[in-house]
Chain A
């Protein structure tokens, strides 16, 4: 045999560090920066307390329409000139809206970052927002949502969200739906801009700080702003139902069924964050997770299945997501429920947890190589009020978590008997079998 039979051991690990973090207060705002010596590119994010949660009922998607209107010209130049100026730096804006924040990211070669941030600020602080442009962007967004909703997934996601979060903003899709976006008015967009995009916010920067001028970047980002930071509300009240419910979203002729199984869970600040994350990694996070192993590698029902907790400032939810071949929809659901049940009842094993611990800890290095990744990590610190030494401490917590802690989190935070199971697929082909399987009451989605 020409191959080496013995698996090699581990070399010497370098101590884990997160890049040095610097802060500068300027113009009423704060710049928080991570030093990445020698990097040719730099990234910045202007983060504002202007998340989708501020949107009015029935007008969900207002912030997204605003985000997409920012590049339709500024007080200083029209949209074509703006595009040329920004892209001439090799930069593009990436505006995004989530539940808790409104972000505009930009990256560029280090010597050009200041100009890129100036242009980003010009669009954010002084957009033209002509009524005809806003209406056109809104109509385009309605069309774009219809395009998106023609894919498998978005209707299932919206159905699960509505069932878990009920009426009110959190029960509606993050970016709204075609009807709510169509209802957005020019005044809604202008008012949202006035209320939330003129406050200083926080500028996050990752790059070579020996070259970047943080004060100048801050002046560019915060010039002409005023107002206080928004004080966020506390977590939403929540509970989990005592019975399961199946909701069928019809997608005639679909060759796969899209599964979204979920229930509510604690918000990001929960002390169980680490053991919950590890429990979900064992159940459905890693490639060798219980779910992926059984549903993909043993049964061949799917290309992939994932289970995870998503946690924002005010709420959390557990979800399992997969696309499974239509003919095996029910067996795939039954097997999935079996693995969730087993994890909740019996917890995790040391072997499985060892993989989850090392993977989560290692990913803190592997997934944090670029300015874009580091600036994203800074935004997590700011959003959730975490300390500068958070990542080294998180790594330690992952590595030290015990089977007992993780099993206890699985026992407390998995609720297989209270799951909502959304199945988006060919109803004519799967309804009878779903009803007969007696998983829970089968309802039809109103979507």
Chain B
């Protein structure tokens, strides 16, 4: 896909591979993400360390991310280097395996373990997402385990597994290539043909394990963690609807009404209002996963001296109010105005535009469907929000994760 925009002399090349941590079998958690790291370590015509050097050394920014649904790779370059970016991406799509070595795997395994320490283990509340997934999705469900994986599985990763992983999933028929920015469509199509055209498709790519769920959970789940955290914090979470559905559009508007900004119900009632929650650490948001009912996460951190039970009661009351107190016109238009700005902001870079188009083509089979998202948010009614809350936010389907500070020994004055 090409989205031409000549306003800046830059171009983004973005690839969505339809493989994420939801494809990982038991014992191989974290493999899709560790594999993403290996994609930067050289391929048949690109020496180790050369990929980064060629992109940055020609003025570009680059990165990649892995989530439960998919893996994406992207670089934004001054537009005269478009062809270089396409060549690099084709080389690692079609020619990674011969360049993979045990030394590279061992090094990147350590890097990923450090990433796990830095992002999840060494920060207060850092493992909340890992715990929430296990509480939200049953064992065996593709979203049950986190993308970062377990240290144990990472340690067991073998080189052959990764070679097989690449041959299985890194195929042109499992990938969407999007170019946005300072380039003509016909030029890009010709270059794509030149560099990717001869890569053979892979037959019979296995789908991820089935993610079907019969609806929201029917019994509540609860976990309380005592850890080195500075204040009690609560996460409430529910499975809602898959991203891209009408139901999830209502959840997106609901999350904004409930917990985005100073005008949201949570802020107004618990940070202001009752003043039991810290104003910098209260909010709610959906995690936009498309292959099963996606989570809504609601979080608040207790103010000094506030009992965690009082905070939980306050949160439950505000969440419950979405069913019992109809959403007002002011609340609805506030949420829609914020979502409108956020939408245009997400598309204001060539990188954001390419990624969004890649998402819609990969997940819904048609990039043109991107044009419906904002209008569908704007079409959500107060009744839709109430209905979404009544369906998804029942107390009996709730996951409650609570962090409590460790008892400290008495300190001398």
Contact = CB atoms under 8 A, between A and B. Distances in A.
Given A80-B268, A365-B10, A87 B114 contact: no
B61 A325 contact: no
Interface residues of A, number: 79
A300 B110 contact: yes
A4 B121 contact: no
A287 B56 contact: yes
A288 B60 CA distance: 13
Interface string B55-98: 01111110000000000000011111111101100110011000
A16 B10 CA distance: 11
A445 interface: no
Interface stretch (A51-59, A147-155, A335-343): A147-155
Contacts of B108: 300
B210 interface: no
B324 to A, nearest CB: 20
Contacts of B56: 286-288, 355, 358-359
Contact of B263 (A11, A12, A80): A80
Interface string B122-137: 1110000000000000
Interface in A85-113: 86-92, 107-109
A325 B240 CA distance: 38
A84 B330 contact: yes
A323 B118 contact: yes
Contact of A146 (B77, B121, B194, B230): B230
A67 to B, nearest CB: 12
A303 B49 CA distance: 16
Interface in A229-257: 253-256
Contacts of A37: 7
A300 B60 contact: no
Contacts of A323: 114, 117-118, 122
B122 A13 contact: no
B340 A3 contact: no
Contacts of A162: none
Interface in B332-351: 333-334, 337-341, 344-345, 348-350
Contacts of B309: none
A431 B150 CA distance: 29
A146 B229 CA distance: 10
Contacts of B124: 147, 150-151
Given A90-B338, A91-B341, A323-B122, A365 B78 contact: yes
Interface string A361-380: 11101111111100000000
Contact of A366 (B77, B106, B267, B278): B77
Given A3-B94, A150-B230, A362 B338 contact: no
B83 A8 contact: yes
Interface stretch (A184-192, A291-299, A385-393, A408-416): A291-299
A4 B194 contact: yes
A40 B123 contact: no
A272 interface: no
Contacts of A30: none
Contacts of B199: 2-3
A132 to B, nearest CB: 11
A39 interface: yes
A315 interface: no
Interface of B: 7-10, 44-45, 49, 52-54, 56-61, 76-84, 86-87, 90-91, 94-95, 106-111, 113-115, 117-119, 121-124, 182, 194-195, 198-200, 228-231, 261-263, 267-268, 272, 275, 278-281, 301, 303-304, 330, 333-334, 337-341, 344-345, 348-350
